[in-house]
Amino acid sequence: MRLDVILRVLAKLLIPFAVMFASYVQFHGDFGPGGGFQAGVIVAAAVIFYGLIYGLPSAREVVPDVLVEAMIAIGVLVYAGVGVAGLLLGGNYLDYFVLDHDPVHGQHRGIFWVEVGVAITVSAVMLKIFYVFAGRRRDAGGEDS
Amino acid sequence: MLSQHLPILLVVVPLLAAPIIVLLRRSFPSWLVATLASIATLAIALPLLARAVSEGVISYAIGNWPPPLGIEYRVDAANAFVAFIVSLIGVFVMPYCRHGVSSEVRAEEHYLFYAMMMLCLSGLLGILLTGDAFNLFVFLEISSLATYVLIAMGRDRRALVASYQYLLMGTIGATLYVIGIGLLYLQTGTLNLADLAVRLPAMGDPRSTLAALAFITVGISLKIALFPLHLWLPNAYAYSPSAVSAFLAATATKVSIYVLMRYFFTIFGETVVFDARYTGVILLALSLAAMFIPAVVAIFQTDVKRLLAYSSVSQIGYITLGISLNSVGGLTAAVAHLFNHALTKGGMFLVLGGVVLRLGGSALDRMAGLGRTMPIAAFAFVIGGLSLIGIPGTAGFVSKWYLVTAAMAEGQWWLAGAVMLSSLLAVIYVWRFVEVAYFREPPEGLPPPGEAPLTMLLPALAMIVACVWFGLDASWSGSMARAAAEALAGGWK
């Protein structure tokens, strides 16, 4: 397997840019096309790409299963937490107006954290699906009920 | 300050509990969080119901965006009462899970089980409280997806197939529902249910409204398991873990029935649904078919869980019969049976779960001599069975009484006879259990199994006692059912 050196080098070159593009999609999502879902998918795609080239075990070393599962939950908590923050600051659930002195800033802040939550959960779910399907034969060994 | 946020808190508490449980990962803390969350939902649902009955419609604007624009939660006596039923069942089922689940779900999946229960609870409550047609679909998907996972967690391998079957049918149902609301949105430009109720009559009675009505009715009927669309239900209930069977039998189909009633009476209005066409007759025919055919099938089941599942399909027939009468009396009977059947069937599945834990299976043959080896469980099961039949003194009698009275008020005397005849079929399938449990010798050479652990027995007995309680004193449940029926028929004015 010496011949895949091109793939390995290219992957090393491309993955940082993929992650950077994901953060552009994430943070520019307020003004242009993009947002948490798309950014989450791109981050997950970067890790999946790493897993395809360097093998599933090394991908699992970089992003372990426990972390992936925790991220699924944390993203939901962040999203729901924004709603609860609105409640605590005296507004309704998911009320972004009260998150800042200036209501427009409040809207901005609210959607920012919601998109962060979405990105975390989406990337983790994508990875989880990849891990489950790719690791099926290795983990299960026939018993998978 | 907190009281104005009750509608949203009811949905958010279990929704927050689910990810917290996933982070905890250990079985016992997960169970503790789930149980506390379910108690909290009941503590929220009770004052919400009291307020909805005394004050009428409560509206809550999510994100402080005023209603037809933003998502609105709209609570009245009808959905507050069904939400109360769902959270009450949650409080019975969650403590039961501690031992009930340990033998049926793999230990490393326990936290996922509890997380799914919380998501399912949150989804069902969301369907009930939301006043937005599309938000309703989202919650329908949340609760359904959680349900598919819960069913697949059953230890029998056939649970996977049952779950897949339900997934296919449920997805078709949800798709039809979305097509329906898509048509309504095209016509009226709104997704807010109260706004739809105002705008639809002004549209007259065009073909696209009818198409929307047809899509929504068939889609929701799939989730209800109305007679010819019930094929997913017996396997789903039979192979899922016992606690899940109890929870689903008592809540999932009931919530869908509420949705159907809401669309029929509040949104489309009875003039469009019943007066202008044959919906009433079709629903009546299907309800009658449901009361008889699955009841006969139940008689021939060799597995008690499947027997109860077919009996559920048959009991749903009584509820839809109440809807098809198109009167406040009929709706009262439907809502009352929703409550009484939830208690009865939930209690019976919980008792059965304890029996399955001790005997290792739910085949009828294994229950031989159960009256002697597990006397409390067998007796509780028989009391539940009496309520299914509708013996006076049990909750089942009360709702059948309402149903027969409502049918007679409409001049449909023969329906009273049909209800009686169908109850006789229930006598037969309940008798099959009595015969095996009390008139057969317990298998020899095996140590007597003993009663189920207290954490399982107590919630199960509590539900059976509630079933007798609301059979002897129906004044509270009856008045709530009446308030709910009036709220449904009166519309959101």
Helices (H), B56-109: 77-100
pLDDT at B107: 84
CA atoms within 13 A on the CB side of A129: 8
Per mean pLDDT, which range of A118-122, B286-290, B447-451 is the poorest? B447-451
- Return the closest-CA partner of residue B117 out of B39, B44, B38, B43: B38
How sure is the predictor about A138, in pLDDT bands with cuts at 50, 70 and 90? low
pLDDT at B361: 83
pLDDT at A139: 53
B198 touches chain A (CB under 8 A): no
Q: Which residues pair with B132 in a beta bridge?
A: B192
pLDDT digits (tens, 9 = 90+) for B185-218: 999 999 999 999 888 888 877 888 899 999 999 9
CB atoms A74 and B23 under 8 Å? yes
The 10 Å CB-count burial string (b at 16+, else e) for B229-244 is bbebbbbbbbbbbbbb
Nearest Cα residue in chain A from B21: A73
A50 touches chain B (CB under 8 A): no
pLDDT at B32: 94
Phi, psi of B292 (to 5 degrees): -100, -55
Residue B122 CB neighbours (<10 A): 25
Average the pLDDT over B139-156 and give the result: 93
Q: Map out the domains of chain B as residue ranges.
A: 278-483
The two structure tokens encoding residue B380: 């509780």
Q: For residue B440, give the amino acid letter.
A: R
pLDDT at A145: 38
Higher pLDDT pick, A101 / B343: B343
CB atoms B19 and A72 under 8 Å? yes
CB atoms B64 and A97 under 8 Å? yes
A96 contacts on B by Cβ (under 8 Å): 63
Residue B329 in 3-state DSSP? helix
Question: Which residue of A72, A77, A94 is in closest CB contact with B62?
Answer: A94
CB atoms A92 and B23 under 8 Å? no
Question: Which residue of A73, A77, A93 is in closest CB contact with B62?
Answer: A93
pLDDT at A142: 45
Indicate if the pLDDT at residue A140 is higher than 70: no
Residue B72 in 3-state DSSP? strand
pLDDT at A116: 93
Which residues between 19 and 48 in chain B have a beta carbon less than 8 angstroms from any beta carbon of chain A?
19-20, 22-23, 25
pLDDT at B236: 92
The two structure tokens encoding residue B329: 């009396």
Q: What is the ipTM of this complex?
A: 0.88
Q: Which residues pair with B74 in a beta bridge?
A: B59
B239 touches chain A (CB under 8 A): no
How sure is the predictor about B492, in pLDDT bands with cuts at 50, 70 and 90? low
Question: Which residue of B12, B23, B157 is in closest CB contact with A93?
Answer: B12
- CA pseudo-torsion sign B276, B277, B283, B284: positive
Q: For residue B229, give the amino acid letter.
A: L
Indicate if the pLDDT at residue A144 is higher than 60: no
Q: What percent of chain A has pLDDT over 90?
A: 57
Indicate if the pLDDT at residue A50 is higher than 60: yes
pLDDT digits (tens, 9 = 90+) for B259-280: 999 999 989 888 888 887 888 8
The span from the CA of B149 to the CA of B107, in Å, is: 16
CB atoms A96 and B63 under 8 Å? yes
Indicate if the pLDDT at residue B177 is higher than 60: yes
B392 contacts: CB under 8 Å, gap ≥ 6: B471
pLDDT digits (tens, 9 = 90+) for B29-64: 999 999 999 999 999 999 999 999 998 889 999 888
Mean pLDDT of chain A: 88
The two structure tokens encoding residue A81: 């937490």
CA atoms within 13 A on the CB side of B393: 5
Helices (H), B262-374: 270, 279-299, 304-324, 328-359, 370-373
User: Helix and strand tally (H, E) in chain B?
Assistant: 20, 2
In angstroms, the separation between the Cα of residue A41 and the nearest Cα of chain B is 20
Query: Angle at which helices A103-134 and A36-54 pack, to 10 degrees?
Result: 30
Nearest Cα residue in chain A from B159: A145
B61 contacts on A by Cβ (under 8 Å): 92
In angstroms, the separation between the Cα of residue B250 and the nearest Cα of chain A is 27
The residue to which tokens 């509270």 are assigned: B476
A11 touches chain B (CB under 8 A): no
pLDDT at A1: 52
- CA pseudo-torsion sign B369, B372, B376, B380: positive
In angstroms, the separation between the Cα of residue B22 and the nearest Cα of chain A is 6
The two structure tokens encoding residue A99: 């998150």
In angstroms, the separation between the Cα of residue B17 and the nearest Cα of chain A is 9
pLDDT at B67: 84
- Return the closest-CA partner of residue B213 out of B257, B170, B277: B277
Higher pLDDT pick, A140 / B98: B98
> pTM for this one?
0.93
CB atoms A73 and B60 under 8 Å? no
The two structure tokens encoding residue B271: 């003039």
CA atoms within 13 A on the CB side of B159: 21
pLDDT digits (tens, 9 = 90+) for B54-102: 988 899 998 888 888 889 999 999 999 999 999 999 999 999 998 888 8
Q: For residue B332, give the amino acid letter.
A: T
Nearest Cα residue in chain B from A71: B23
